[in-house]
Amino acid sequence: MNLKPFKKNGQWLLCDEQLTEDIETAWFDQTHWLNQGRLLGANSGRGSAWVIKSEWGKWVLRHYFRGGLYAKVSQDSYLWTGLNQCRAFAEFHLLNKLASLSLPAPRPVAARVIKKGLYYRNDLIMTHVPHEQTWAQSLADGTTESSTWADIGSTIARFHRNGVYHSDLNAHNILLNGEEVTLIDFDKCSIKSPNINWQKQNIERLRRSVEKITGQSCQDQLSQPWQQLLDAWSSERS
Ligand SMILES: Nc1ncnc2c1ncn2[C@@H]1O[C@H](COP(=O)(O)OP(=O)(O)O)[C@@H](O)[C@H]1O
Ligand SMILES: [Mg+2]
């Protein structure tokens, strides 16, 4: 894949080599797809993930919005510290690395950065992962099968074996399609040297998310399925 950023209409772009001839800066604005009848819907509480039916297949367009208190100051501007440090470019590079490791995650399609003074705004396009539901939906419905807990544990173990640290591992970022488990939302994630401490932090964050969604405890009502996840994770982690 050609990973050289280039400029078009004053904006920085990075894309799959096969798309270099076709890419338009308009691709990163959802109205462009809406006007062509190619916008299939929004997929996020914050309204930041759009599903698109492109000529090349189904894509997800994500605009980076700030969370937390700072969002009141600026919704989507980040301090510029260099092109490759921009969130969308960093996530693009990471997704590309995950693809080369054959890990179940979306494939990167294109990224854009608009620099303005000391700040920038940015967007990412990735492939859409076909899925029946997020794990969060399945947990809320109480329909997660016992084998799925183990499948999730093994999938996280595959990422951990390869040093992939997920900064926001929660049930909303785990997509289920039968036995297939895919992780998404790799903003601020990175490859580190495998270490039990940060790997456990990922699992702890996931446990809190499961408990929040179900209103049940992983040490009490959910102890059996949670243990299945942990067993699969620890036996395949290294
Ligand atoms: N590549 C993808 N394929 C399919 N669905 C996706 C993909 N990326 C995001 N989604 C859907 O959009 C939702 C929000 O996306 P996410 O990247 O987690 O953004 P955020 O958590 O910042 O809102 C996900 O929970 C999922 O339902
Ligand atoms: Mg998410």
Q: What is the pLDDT of residue 45?
A: 62
Q: What is the pLDDT of residue 68?
A: 72
pLDDT at 201 over 90: yes
Q: What is the pLDDT of residue 63?
A: 94
pLDDT at 220 over 60: yes
Q: What is the mean pLDDT of residues 23-49?
A: 88
**What is the pTM (predicted TM-score) of this model?**
0.95
Nearest-CA residue for ligand 1 atom 18 is 185
Q: What is the mean pLDDT of residues 72-92?
A: 92
Q: For ligand 1, which residues put their CB under 6 angstroms from it?
A: 43-44, 46, 48-49, 60, 62, 106, 126, 128-129, 134, 172-173, 184-185
> Which ligand minimizes its atom distance to the CA of 58?
1
pLDDT digits 0-9 by tens, 182-196: 999 999 999 999 999
Q: What is the pLDDT of residue 47?
A: 61
Q: What is the pLDDT of residue 46?
A: 63
Expressed in angstroms and rounded, the spacing between residue 21 Cα and the centre of ligand 2 is: 31
Indicate which residue of 168, 185, 220, 231 is catalytic.
168
Q: What is the pLDDT of residue 75?
A: 87
Residues contacting residue 181 through CB under 8 Å, at least 6 positions apart: 104, 148, 151, 152, 154, 155, 174, 175
Residues with C-beta atoms within 5 A of ion ligand 2: 172-173, 185
Q: What is the pLDDT of residue 41?
A: 83
Mean pLDDT value across the chain = 95
Q: How confident is the model at residue 43 (pLDDT cuts 50, 70, 90)?
A: confident
Nearest-CA residue for ligand 1 atom 11 is 43
Residues 187/91, Cβ–Cβ less than 8 Å: yes
Expressed in angstroms and rounded, the spacing between residue 159 Cα and the centre of ligand 1 is: 18
pLDDT digits 0-9 by tens, 123-172: 999 999 999 999 999 999 999 999 999 999 999 999 999 999 999 999 99
- Mutate which of 53, 54, 62 to test ligand 1's pocket (most atoms within 8 Å of Cβ)? 62
- Give the closest residue to 104 by CA, choosing from 155, 154, 177: 155
Burial of 161 (0-12, 13-18, 19+ CB in 10 A): middle
Structure tokens at 11: 């904006």
Expressed in angstroms and rounded, the spacing between residue 48 Cα and the centre of ligand 2 is: 10
Q: What is the pLDDT of residue 121?
A: 96
pLDDT at 102 over 90: yes
Residue type for 38, please?
A: R
Residues 62/51, Cβ–Cβ less than 8 Å: no
pLDDT at 82 over 70: yes
Q: What is the pLDDT of residue 42?
A: 79
Q: Which domains does the chain have, with CATH numbers?
A: 8-127 (3.30.200), 133-236 (1.10.510.10)
- Give the closest residue to 123 by CA, choosing from 81, 78, 174, 167: 78
Residues 147/179, Cβ–Cβ less than 8 Å: yes
Q: What is the pLDDT of residue 150?
A: 98
> Which ligand minimizes its atom distance to the CA of 48?
1
* Percent of residues, the chain, with pLDDT higher than 70: 96
Query: Is 220 among the residues known to form the active site?
Result: no
Helices marked H in 46-107: 87-100
pLDDT at 205 over 90: yes
Atom of ligand 1 nearest to the CA of 131: 4
Pairwise CA distance, residues 12 & 29, whole Å = 15
Pairwise CA distance, residues 87 & 122, whole Å = 7
Pairwise CA distance, residues 59 & 42, whole Å = 12
Q: How confident is the model at residue 67 (pLDDT cuts 50, 70, 90)?
A: confident
